[in-house]
Structure 1
């Protein structure tokens, strides 16, 4: 008597059993991650302190092509650079490993990173490009899409660009039309449209997967003195009654945040950078001031710098 034919379901059951066994064995070889204690504090990278580490060295040297010559402290042999480069930031409740340029670019493969704002973002960008270049020495300068500067990393197909928009909002110089009455000393105004983004970045949102915004250091009377003030417009009309500079700053931020939320794709990862404390010694940047510090500012020094910045009065 010939043997009975096996049901066609039987091989499927065998395959399913083997698959489940394989999956179960993988669970045994990879135990589930430990659950963190319920009272463990969240990682706050911004709460910590500077630690001197003599073994810490820069990832790049003075030959990085993305440096601006005047700002290349390594090439210009600024004093105490060894000490300055030995400081590292250590958060209180978590570890902050040093950036791995190759791993970072690998994670960002086929993506683009954009910085929008003033020189705070520009300065960070220069250092950032030099760090990433360690993993791709074929990186080359990139200034497309209206970028002020940037770099393309062909090994990973990653583009990093900076778009200069110091107020974020659109602003333009309008000289004084009449010279009949010059007693007020007014030479003209800078018209600021609080609800219109600057042309430098209004059309680039779709290109970038990550965007980093900042503004702040240009909102002062050293940049816009009383003879060349900022005058704020909304909907094409002057805001009435007129508002002061810091109030205008708040209105611009509110409008730019609203624009970003509505117009920048939701898939785009967005960051906002804060200001850095002023650290010039012997005067401001345009008054023979210089940066002579080789150690991080203490907390009371930072507060003092911020207070001086906020209470600055127009110069005569």
Structure 2
């Protein structure tokens, strides 16, 4: 019952599905760790014991440790209605600052040469606009504005919208992708399948919008599947795991030893813009960062090793 209340509260506060999955996972782990005892019966010693187990036995990263703590704080304060005056005694783990992994232009091009079809198009779109993977996968037909050379990201991280440039070199490929997607959309209409998933309550407000071409995915899945939330059979967008596997294979085939992922393309986008002379505020706006301090991390990557200091070894004859 507690987990159902947890899901209801998360939905009420309009948290993302990924946040719901993470919070439910950690609350389940917490309950199982204490042998299925109800969380209302547990206190600061049990919470600290679980977090200590994660840090010492599981040796999770500081960010993972923080996520588990946030899930428990949400459970006690938002679901069970219990204040946590003892939370300050537990404390939060210190998350070390890590420099992002950056690919050079040649390395990005090498990866692209190993990709084909819509995987190549999606990778070029992520690098060309700086979008997150989920933002690219959730693009709708109406979000592409070819007349104004713009891509509109709806409800990105933090629920924010933003407008990005549409690279001229991608227009032909995106139009072909839309043509392929239109074939799938038309087949779904003929088969009488349910329309695509709609955000929030728009499916009730506009019942036919989900079946319209404007709301269809730019990168649809080749086959239909069952919606885990409603049980309705409909067509979803391309799965993130499918693209991540294809990208990982491309990195290996390109003989790149850096631990690159699709998100690395976003880091490369920001760094290469700064190298081209664009100001930090412009890059901040394109990335959708709320604080310029988050964007400033890329300026550290731009420095030549050692902050631009020349090694004395290179001065020896």
Shorter-chain TM-score: what band? under 0.3
Compare relative contact order (CA 8 Å, sep 6+) and give the higher one, 1 or 2: 2
TM-score, structure 1 normalization: 0.25
Q: Which structure has the bigger radius of gyration? A: 1
